[in-house]
Amino acid sequence: MLSVSPDKRRKMESALNQLKKYTVVVADTGDFNAIDEYKPQDATTNPSLILAAAKMPAYQSLLDQAIKYGIAKGGTEEEQIANTMDKLFVSFGLEILKKVPGRVSTEVDARLSFDKEEMVAKALRLIALYEEAGISKERVLIKLSSTWEGIQAALFLELEDKHGVHCNMTLLFSFAQAVACAEANVTLISPFVGRIFDWYKENTDRKTYEPHEDPGVRSVTKIYNYYKKFGYSTVVMGASFRNTGQVKALAGCDLLTISPGLLAELSQDHSTVTQTLTVETAKNCSLQKVHLDEKDFRWQHNEDRMAVEKLSDGIRKFAADAIKLETMLKVRLDLNVLGLVQFPYKCEFVISGENASC
């Protein structure tokens, strides 16, 4: 039997399979039917991904179930919508957990990004819904915006003697956000590679970057090195990729959450993937340890124009998609109340601003 050299074997392997040797691969989608092919360990969702999936015919039964739940809980229309939204997000998470062996990330409403107490309450509500369905909180990451209030909410939720809820800090763009998350001992952060790249492309004269020069890649590399050099337990999950070059440039990062489209490209790519992030390299980097209290955090984050603009933009966009999803659900609730719809109900929604029509 002819043996195959290690170099030739690597060339035969897909970039995706090579990447999995160095990094935990996570699927970034609400379309759980797209997960099977790529065998990720975990999966992440957000309001925009859930909105996109909720419009697909394959998932109308989940909307029907969530609406039934919201109606059964009673209360005002606003309360019914809130309960329906919570149930829908958890329902998608439950289906995803049937496809992945690890954890799913479920996001708290971005409109709560500056209210610590409300973020904590919503997180505990989502965890309760998972536990009612027989899923342990150990298989769930609660996604919170990386505002000062979001980080403090995570600090409270993560305390084992309080709630022991694991958090995924999202919309992370600045080094100050990363330092504050590490000092709060959160479980995981999701720095946004692609959105950082987008900002530099739109706001500077430079329009293209080699992968290792990409400002988003450099940001995640710095955060990874800082965490590993100083022994923080918080893990780094690079997110929001625009191309496979960005993904491969971060091989070795704790986790990378990747869209189905880029997972497909990586599975067809047979170029060599080399580990670029290592604990050994991080230990020898020149970064100095810093401490940030609230005033230091706010100042240092404020000094990063890109991070300030992308954080506020990200919160607005996630909030807008949450409103669109609520509007979609409100139409179906209203039709049900009027007796004009029976479950299961299929409808195509055209959403413009805050108006939805069947």
Q: According to the model, what pLDDT value does residue 37 have? A: 87
Q: According to the model, what pLDDT value does residue 351 have? A: 40
**In CATH, what number is assigned to the domain containing residue 199?**
3.20.20.70
Q: According to the model, what pLDDT value does residue 352 have? A: 41
The string over 217-237, giving b where at least 16 C-beta atoms fall within 10 Å of a residue's C-beta and e elsewhere, is bebbbbbbbbbbbeebebbbb
Q: Is residue 217 part of a domain?
A: yes
Quick: pLDDT tens for 111-162. Answer: 999 999 999 999 999 999 999 999 999 999 999 999 999 999 999 999 877 8
**Distance in angstroms (rounded) separating the CA atoms of residues 247 and 272:** 13
Q: Is residue 352 part of a domain?
A: no
Does the annotation mark 137 as catalytic?
Answer: no
Mean pLDDT by runs of 10 across the 358 residues of the chain is 54 92 96 88 94 92 94 94 97 96 97 98 98 98 98 94 94 98 98 98 96 98 98 98 98 97 97 98 98 98 98 98 94 68 45 39
CA 281, chain centre distance (Å):
27
Q: Is residue 344 part of a domain?
A: no
Entry pTM: 0.90
Q: According to the model, what pLDDT value does residue 160 have? A: 76
List, in order, residues 6 or more apart from 256 with CB less than 8 Å away: 19, 23, 24, 25, 26, 237, 238, 239, 241, 247, 250
Tokens of 329: 């659900």
**Active-site annotation holder among 20, 87, 122, 143:** 143
Q: Is residue 15 part of a domain?
A: no
What DSSP designation does 143 have? E
Length of the chain: 358
Q: Is residue 6 part of a domain?
A: no
Q: Is residue 93 part of a domain?
A: yes
Amino acid at 239: A
**Total domains present in the chain:** 1
Q: According to the model, what pLDDT value does residue 162 have? A: 87
Domain span including residue 267 = 22-338
